[in-house]
């Protein structure tokens, strides 16, 4: 399954990209699974394990257990 991931604010600068498509290979594709997939890249990506970095799915605030669907857009943004 693929989702579009958008990074805003300081995350866009940290990751040097505004968005990308990410494949999630988990049985239960959740926001938490996506966060784990990205954080496992290491380096600057590891910051995403910090829960103060919030996520929204299709422009609505989300919780870690929210299930993702093919084509969803997940936005990560830094703490305010």
Q: pLDDT (tens digit, 9 = 90+) per residue, 61-76?
A: 999 999 999 999 999 9
What pLDDT was estimated at residue 17? 95
In order of their start, the domains of the chain are: 2-77 (3.10.20.30)
What pLDDT band is residue 54 in, cutting at 50, 70 and 90? very high
pTM listed for this prediction: 0.93
What pLDDT was estimated at residue 26? 78
What pLDDT band is residue 24 in, cutting at 50, 70 and 90? confident
**Could you say which DSSP state residue 30 is in?**
B
Phi, psi of 32, rounded to the nearest 5 degrees: -60, -40
Write out the E strands in the chain: 2-7, 19-23, 54-57, 60-61, 73-77
Whether 48 contacts 77, CB under 8 Å: no
């Amino acid at each position: 399954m693929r989702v579009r991931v958008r990074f805003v604010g300081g995350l866009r600068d940290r990751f040097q990209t505004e968005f990308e498509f990410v494949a999630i290979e988990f049985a239960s594709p959740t926001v938490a699974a996506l966060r784990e997939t990205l954080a496992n890249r290491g380096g600057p990506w590891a910051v995403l394990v910090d829960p103060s970095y919030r996520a929204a799915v299709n422009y609505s605030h989300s919780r870690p257990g929210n299930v993702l669907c093919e084509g969803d857009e997940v936005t990560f943004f830094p703490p305010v």
